[in-house]
Amino acid sequence: MLEYGFVRVGAIVNKLVLASPVDNAKEIVKMIRKADKEGVSIVTTPELALTGYTCGDLFLQDELLEEVEKALSIILEDTKDLDIISIIGMPLRCNNQLLNTAVVIEKGNIVGIVPKSYIPNYSEFYEKRWFTSSFDLKYCEINLLGTVVPISTKLLFRDKKYREVTFAIEICEDLWSVFPPSNNHALNGASIIFNLSSSNEIVGKDSYRRNLVSMQSAKTLSGYVYVSSGIMESTSDLVFGGASLIYENGKLLKSNKRFEIESNLIYTDIDVKRLINERCRNSSFAGSFYDGDYKVIEVNVSDRIKNLDRSYKMYPFIPTNDKEKRFEEILEIQSSGLARRLIHLNNTKCVIGMSGGLDSTLAFLVIVRAFRKLERDNKDIICITMPGFGTTDRTYKNAISLVKEYGATLKEISIKEASLLHMKDIGLNENDRSITYENIQARERTQILMDVANMVGGIVIGTGDLSELALGWCTYNGDHMSMYSVNSSIPKTLVRYLIEWVKDNSTDKRKKVLQDILDTPISPELLPPDEAGNILQKTESFIGPYVLHDFYLYHFLRYGASVKKMYFLAKITFKDNFTSNEIKKWLTVFIKRFFTQQFKRNSIPDGVKVGSISLSPRGDLRMPSDANYESWLKELEEI
């Protein structure tokens, strides 16, 4: 799994015995062994887990500090046979200073020690009574249990083979400071940050803490593992809840249930390759000021994940939370972009080809919304249905019904006679069913739209979507062309959801026609229907399921995923829907078409960007039309 960038990380909240390091060490070892059995590669405890955070003046007792070292030696001995890296929170005397530290252990050896930087001394916190800040640290090494080890806040722990797997540590208050150490950790290459904390509970603090961890994870483009002391830390005036949180680039992957008396463990898999890709494309991240004086400690991060402990959405473009709000926002972005263009053109008319399919339906609904925004009459929306050789009664009637329901202007112009004349002119047999036969019809329709737009003083609104542009599933200078495109960053899977949302918020008559459009198979209808008049040419039978292509497109462009990784993720995500051979077959189609069809994308019209992925050559995708894709296919063939 490390090959794909997945690292299993964990957080332990140990059932604490205050001021009893040996007892705590035994409990921690038990939980480390549990984490090891679950395939966790790196696990952390809370702050001062060997003693407890609330020991007060007992931190100044020799007896307690000597017991801490004894407890640490127990952990070293009892975990030396485990293939797991452990981070242990403990107090540590360093010559004339007492430090609050995180000790990193691998195979029974201490590999590095990170001290706390920001020592809180306000409200219920008064750590400065005992602990010294790392800013006052006079040494960079310490002899602990007979071994000289580095001690510094500027330590990076990096896997010897997979350099993307690099982690660093900060402790509790460090995160709450104005400039957390994790800022520099991330800028110096740490893809995962561990935070050992003792954060007491008061009303509302949990939400604030989650927001803080989420924002730091997002800001540093990192995986962030946060763990705090549990309920057995509670004493006198404070209660601790034992919050454990694991985030990736601001998104919560896993959390525990607070206020548990017994020890508990959470773990999940962080995708460090995704994080590194995000950093590489974010020039602001690389351009930030940072202190680069770090020491890198090489470690062996185990690779023992058998089953991935995270899932991926089958429909990555579809929002999962606040759907209604997100769909409304998407339509607002689309219609606002069009409205702005119409204002610039002095409120010109809009011309659109209506096929009765999904894409033209969404584009039409966007125009209607833009006209409402501009307080324009829908009569200035010129809708043209252009029956051809493959047009079925179902799509024809749906197109007409939809236009009438919204009070737009309807025109019908058949393309059959003009297409036959053109076939005759170029010497194409009218019984030919080649790509030329199909493209003649697509270009004839575009010519009609453009000419009518000239006649009425309007602009042609494009209907093609993101998925079609990615696959080049459009006729060059046919449906590929318009004067403004409103669907160009809406993938096919999202088109369907948006129409469904509009349908659910429509009158009964509109609901009926929109539902039938949703139920109609996707087709360009350029080949004649079957004998019963049903659609014979079905797009997904030829180029593959859009649900797969949209999945590939998302991971390929958004995160730069390799072909092998896309195949791996698709197998997990669609295990109940497609066979491995089908996934591989359509991934091959995706790669070939994506690379070979760039010349079409290089000349697409203006179109509003809606989501994180756009294929505009003026915006998000700058790619040569002649790029070689053999290495991608070779990697796929080797699977």
- Mean predicted confidence (pLDDT) in 244-271: 97
Looking at residue 525, its pLDDT comes to 60
CA 630 to chain centre: 27
Helix (H, G, I), strand (E, B) or coil at 633: helix
Q: Give the C-alpha separation, 510 to 503, whole Å.
A: 7
96-118 confidence digits (pLDDT tens): 899 999 999 999 999 999 999 99
pLDDT tier, 516 (very low <50, low <70, confident <90, very high otherwise): very high
Task: Name residue 88's beta-bridge partners.
Answer: 103
Compute the CA torsion angle 336, 341, 343, 345 (nearest 10 deg).
-160
29-36: Cβ within 8 A, 24+ apart: 29/74, 29/75, 29/78, 29/79, 30/263, 31/263, 31/265, 32/75, 32/79, 32/82, 32/84, 32/86, 33/79, 33/82, 34/265, 35/10, 35/84, 35/265, 35/267, 36/82, 36/83, 36/84
**Whether residue 534 has pLDDT greater than 90:** no
How far out from the chain centre does Cα 578 lie? 23
Hey, what domains does the chain have and what are their CATH numbers?
2-297 (3.60.110.10), 323-637 (3.40.50.620)
Provide the 3-class DSSP secondary structure of residue 518. helix
pLDDT on residue 535: 58
Strand partners, 264: 13
The residue with tokens 């008559």 is 509
Residue of 41, 4, 25, 310 whose CA lies nearest to 157: 41
Provide the pLDDT for residue 537. 57
pLDDT of 526:
57
CB contact burial 447-464 (16+ within 10 A = b; e otherwise): ebbbebbeeeebbbbbbb
Q: Which residues are catalytic?
A: 47, 116, 172
Report residue 320: phi and psi, to 5°: -100, -25
Cα(171)–Cα(119) distance, integer angstroms? 10
Query: Which tokens sit at 477?
Result: 């200078």
Percent of the chain exceeding pLDDT 90 equals: 88
DSSP labels for 167-225?
EEEEETHHHHSSS-HHHHHHHTT-SEEEEEE--B--TTHHHHHHHHHHHHHHHTTSEEE
Its pTM stands at: 0.92
pLDDT at residue 245 in the model: 98
CA atoms of 336 and 328, how far apart (whole Å): 12
The answer to whether the beta carbons of residues 62 and 238 sit under 8 Å apart is: no
Q: How do residues 279-324 score in pLDDT, each as one tens digit?
A: 999 988 877 777 778 999 999 999 999 999 999 999 999 998 899 9
Question: Per mean pLDDT, which range of 243-252, 444-453, 515-524 is the poorest?
Answer: 515-524
pLDDT of residue 485: 97
Percent pLDDT > 70 in the chain is 97
- Sign of the CA dihedral running 586, 467, 433, 527: positive
Q: Which helix (H) or strand (E) holds 408?
A: none
- What is the rounded distance in angstroms from the CA atom of residue 36 to the CA atom of residue 501? 46
**Quick one: pLDDT at residue 286?**
78
Average pLDDT over residues 449-470: 97
Name, in order, each residue with C-beta under 8 angstroms of 243's C-beta and a sequence gap of 6 or more: 199, 206, 209, 226, 227, 228, 255, 256, 258
For 114-160, what is each residue's pLDDT tens digit? 999 999 998 888 899 999 999 999 889 999 999 999 999 999 999 99
